[in-house]
A and B are shown apart, each in its own frame.
Chain A
């Protein structure tokens, strides 16, 4: 079933404008619950009350306040809150082009796809331009873009992915801790023999990425449990046994045993 576009934007790159549609690249598979009243099964609602007086305060009478460190609140009026909202615009502006691997994974929040809205020529020309800078397929770049969607400002990284534009929303400065800010664990030089064995072990366990091989088993159990319970069937909640972790004498010995084990596994 084709997905519905969440948003339409005008991607602007210098003086080029490319109309695009934005789609979520994530499918929500979560199992969501409602909170119910135990005695009558009615879905509960929320309200705000004054903990001192117990009085219920209607939201149109309530204030919104920013708590300061000195225990006061700075109230933001509805005009204030409106003023803080970004101006609505359809423009998704490319502010910078950088090498594709420049930002660490910590920066990325959520993936979206952009699709062409109308004439696809410019869209696919941009895919190609981002995929290979100056025609060199080794050098892909990504475009840092800013846009406003649903009254919120976003910053994202746009890159070519399998022939289409993949847009990853970004965190802001201050939200990300980068590896280079942290001390690197140090110690005596690693033993070359151990390094060789470790590399050998990695090679023995090397293979392609097969995401199909992994399923969210908890979610599947939960879904079938709910289905069974809904049908009034018997419910079996079974456990997976815990794995034992063995102690071992020295890193070199353990590596050697691991390599041997993998080798015999391969032969068998």
Chain B
């Protein structure tokens, strides 16, 4: 029930992918965000004195008290038989990985209800960029009107996914699908052939169903009772000051405390809103943005944004980030990220695609941004065409 929290995985909302939906010759730049978040009750493993412990690897051939094996001495093996492994290196994996592509090419539109429920793996929301607002809305409206979903494959984080692009309520969702050989059919499982139930039995079950029938479900019926019990127990013990320990030394991974974790919902809302704000007032039907000189004014606008607070111009622009690095040296009023608000820093970190940003404190964000900017390679990945 309680889960392990010993591995300090950076969690938090960030665009999982940014790229382009191609629809005929129309290209729609979008960002992909998860549509779900995990609420976990996680526990750390502590020493008897209350010190958070670290997980490490050791080689049983050298005994249980042998040295820890550092990362550079760990290799990845695929077991072919007992005691025999094929070693696969990082380079080999990388060579096998699909080429990075920034494209979801919609070549097939299928009736919405033809995709079996068992195929759906994970839902994501897609948000438009300012320039793609109109094309995004057009695709969403068309899919809703035709009751069809777009099917494509695309590459995210070194893995190829089958994806269904579904429109609902004016928003586009990208739902990854399981490949056909990952989904079992009743026949694969060996379920017995259906028998014709007696009409009387069917009627009886329909009557029982009627008694439990409601048009909607109350969110309280979907609450995680186990999570709530666990949280209540922790609160109760805290109040009674029972089994509460304060470790002598802070864990390095624990951060400096109070690191703000920005909620996924807020990030999505902002992302949708900013595309809209930027699109308002200007008709920008160009399907694909090219890194041209025209982008310069917008890059400047973006970089003065931290001073203006939440009304950021727009949070993505393949060329803007590179231009921005140059721009920041010519614009004295924004050259020092250390003077920015945490939110502005977070937004920029997101733009620069800095991993683990949601877990970073303000000084950490500043450091990571400076590092990335000096490398000047932030936009490299995001360039399209």
Contact = CB atoms under 8 A, between A and B. Distances in A.
Contacts of B100: 242
Contact of B222 (A44, A55, A173, A244): A173
B182 A97 contact: no
19 contacts: A26-B118, A27-B181, A41-B87, A44-B59, A44-B60, A66-B44, A67-B5, A83-B233, A97-B214, A107-B222, A115-B192, A129-B209, A163-B194, A176-B36, A185-B272, A214-B153, A247-B289, A247-B385, A258-B23
B133 interface: yes
Contact of A71 (B98, B116, B117, B254): B254
A262 interface: yes
Interface residues of B, number: 189
A247 to B, nearest CB: 4
A266 interface: no
B226 A84 contact: yes
Contacts of B229: 84
Interface string B49-84: 011111111111100110011000111111110000
A89 interface: no
Given A74-B238, A96-B212, A245 B22 contact: yes
Contacts of B24: 201, 205, 254-255, 257-259, 261-262
Given A23-B184, A185-B171, 16 more contacts: A3-B184, A44-B57, A62-B46, A73-B50, A75-B244, A77-B243, A86-B1, A116-B192, A168-B118, A177-B37, A185-B276, A205-B24, A207-B110, A237-B92, A254-B25, A261-B25
Which residue, B105, B189, B196, has most C-beta atoms of chain A within 10 A?
A: B189
A130 B209 contact: yes
A120 interface: yes
Contacts of A107: 222
Nearest to B265: A177
B213 A226 contact: no
B80 A104 contact: no
A152 to B, nearest CB: 6
A237 B168 CA distance: 41
B202 interface: yes
Given A185-B276, A243-B101, A37 B61 contact: yes
B237 A198 contact: no
A212 B108 CA distance: 14
A76 B5 CA distance: 14
Contacts of A195: 138, 141-142, 145
Nearest to B102: A245
Interface string B195-226: 11110011011101111111111011111111
B369 interface: no
B257 interface: yes
Nearest to A23: B189
Contacts of A216: 160, 162, 179, 181
Nearest to A225: B96
B182 A121 contact: no
Nearest to B78: A226
A96 B179 contact: no
Contact of B118 (A161, A230, A248): A161
B297 interface: no
Interface string B294-334: 00000000000000000000000000000000000000000
Contacts of B120: 105, 108
Given A33-B77, A48-B55, A177-B265, A185 B170 contact: yes
B145 A29 contact: no
B220 A173 contact: yes
Contact of A35 (B76, B102, B169, B184): B76
A108 B115 CA distance: 14
A25 to B, nearest CB: 5
A144 B43 contact: no
Contacts of B182: 26-29
Given A172-B223, A241-B99, A57 B35 contact: no
Closest 7 CB pairs of A and B: A258-B24, A2-B190, A237-B95, A125-B197, A184-B170, A172-B224, A111-B118
